[in-house]
Structure 1
Amino acid sequence: MMTALAIGLVLGVTVWWILIQRLMDKPWTRRGVLDGSQDGLTSSAPKVGLWLFMAMATSLFLIFNSAYLMRMGFGHGGLHPWVPLAEPGILWFNTFVLIAASAAMQTASGAARKGDIGGLRKYYTAGGVLSVVFLAGQLLAWRQLSATGQYGPSDPAYSFFILLTAMHGLHLLGGLWVLGRTATRVWRGLDAQNVVAVGKVRQSVRLCTTYWHFLLLVWLGLFTQLTIT
């Protein structure tokens, strides 16, 4: 019960922080042409694509979640009984690292909107590095479980743990590939006076930020489920 409350508190603080960052940007005070409006339908296509992809990814995770709950309650018929895992403590550290990565991405998005190239480079890179640290931590969690010698492929809880964390990690790796392409453009030299180039980078950073928030929420849901079951 206390674990569920702790995770709920972390989720609430994370959502609150994201909303505060959006309000501090005060988009209602802006005048003139809105960011990305000059691109017309071209700028809308990547947004629609991202939201469609996140919808499909959400459906996939919900399917796995349903299978997880069904298998947890089905321990007869010759199947291996469900034995809850003793989740490695490093998962808590990994969770806070991913929260920090999402926060760094949000800050980078704000820097991009303001035309702060230096801030964009710093926080966008920090978001990528923290995400890599998160993935390394997930691999370490796998090793810690395997090193106990108590779990194997025949253990359903262990198998689902590997499946769910691997699927989330693969989605994060895909995001890192897009992040890396944009980071390369930023670090090679981005002319703040080049409206078109800055607009493309700003849009890419904004989409990556949205995707990182999505991955954070997915992980918090998975982490809650793995911890309380």
Structure 2
Amino acid sequence: MPATFSRTPTDIERKDTGIGGKPPVDRRPTGGGGGDDNWDNHPSGRRGPRELLTRYRLGLSCALAGDLIFFIALVSAFFVHQTAGHFDLRENYVSDWHPLTIPPILWINTAVLLLSSLTIEIARRHLFHEVDVMEEWLGLGRPAVRRAAPWLIATVALGSLFLAGQWIAWSQLASEGLTFTTTQNSHFFYLITATHGIHLVLGILALGIALCALFLLRRVQMRQIVVDVAAWYWHAMGIFWIFLFVLLTCFQ
């Protein structure tokens, strides 16, 4: 009697060539409303799209946790120096902290950065849109890339506009005679805004890499991961700025 072998549903589906409107199991789109049928189902030991995305997000979270500790230390020093002062010749205590008028352009900069968070989120969601990704699997071009790229470019432009606005704010303060070493208050204003600006420059570089990845990377999952990590980093920088902006405007 010849031996018979039963095929599990997973084996049957894995041999599916994807012609019937469904790609092979190992090549399904990731995240953003897609199914998780195969994300954790890799008997060969390979990492699925969901695991890769989770690992990259975890790595980003660890890096941002370090940044958060740094900014907390900076803010703590800000409050400590508010009480700093010296005794004059008459032994009267004089505070070294002098109120600083925030340049009005910072309000515009904040609105620009918030708008950039919206554009990067739209780009990220386009890449995870299930219908667009399925069209690519079926060989109908790259609709997700075409829709996401303009929003990524807009985010880079808005981020650059924010940095230009910060430079204008520094120039306005310098024209008033308030430089990095003039007062304790101006010192921390330059330090806080410049530190955040450096982080935003790194974010713009990450967005540039993500934009290149849209056109250079062939695997859908890797394009999604690169843009997703860049987007969450950008969102974090927006949240950090809101916190720092409130600090500079309300606790002078």
> The TM-score by the shorter chain falls in which range?
0.7 to 0.9
Higher helix share: 1
* Cα displacement (A) at 1:177: 1.4
Q: Distance in 2 between matches of 1:92 and 1:40?
A: 39
Whether the 8 Å CA contact 2:39–2:50 is kept in 1: the answer is no
1:45 is aligned, of 55, 67, 71, to 55
Q: TM-score, normalised by structure 2?
A: 0.71
1:163 paired with 2:191, answer yes
- The 10-residue stretch of structure 1 (93-102 or 175-184) with the greater mean CA deviation from structure 2: 175-184
Residues 120-159 of structure 1 mapped to structure 2, 5 A cutoff: 120-151=148-179, 153-159=181-187
Q: Distance in 2 between matches of 1:50 and 1:174?
A: 13
Q: Distance in 2 between matches of 1:189 and 1:49?
A: 23
1:36-89 CA-partner distances (Å, limit 9, x unpaired): 972364443322211011000000000000000000122235787111111100
Q: Distance in 1 between matches of 2:38 and 2:121?
A: 19
* SS of aligned partner of 1:76: strand
* Cα displacement (A) at 1:207: 1.1
User: AA paired with 2:115?
Assistant: A
User: AA paired with 1:127?
Assistant: T
Higher RCO, Cα 8 Å, sep 6+: 1
- Gapped regions of structure 1 (runs ≥ 5): 1-25
Q: Distance in 2 between matches of 1:127 and 1:214?
A: 14
The percent of aligned pairs where both chains have the same amino acid is 28
User: AA paired with 1:207?
Assistant: V
- Residue 25 of structure 2 is matched in structure 1 by none
CA gap 1:179/1:59 in 2 versus in 1, 3 angstroms: same
User: AA paired with 2:230?
Assistant: C
- Gapped regions of structure 2 (runs ≥ 5): 1-30, 41-46, 89-93, 134-143
Q: Distance in 2 between matches of 1:34 and 1:92?
A: 46
- Work out the number of aligned pairs and report it: 197
Whether the 8 Å CA contact 1:80–1:155 is kept in 2: the answer is no
User: AA paired with 2:57?
Assistant: K
CA gap 1:113/1:41 in 2 versus in 1, 3 angstroms: closer
- The 10-residue stretch of structure 1 (115-124 or 96-105) with the greater mean CA deviation from structure 2: 115-124
* SS of aligned partner of 1:85: coil
Whether the 8 Å CA contact 1:102–1:216 is kept in 2: the answer is yes
Q: Distance in 2 between matches of 1:77 and 1:125?
A: 54
User: AA paired with 2:67?
Assistant: A
- Residue 8 of structure 1 is matched in structure 2 by none
CA gap 1:30/1:183 in 2 versus in 1, 3 angstroms: closer
CA gap 1:89/1:43 in 2 versus in 1, 3 angstroms: same
CA gap 1:152/1:106 in 2 versus in 1, 3 angstroms: closer
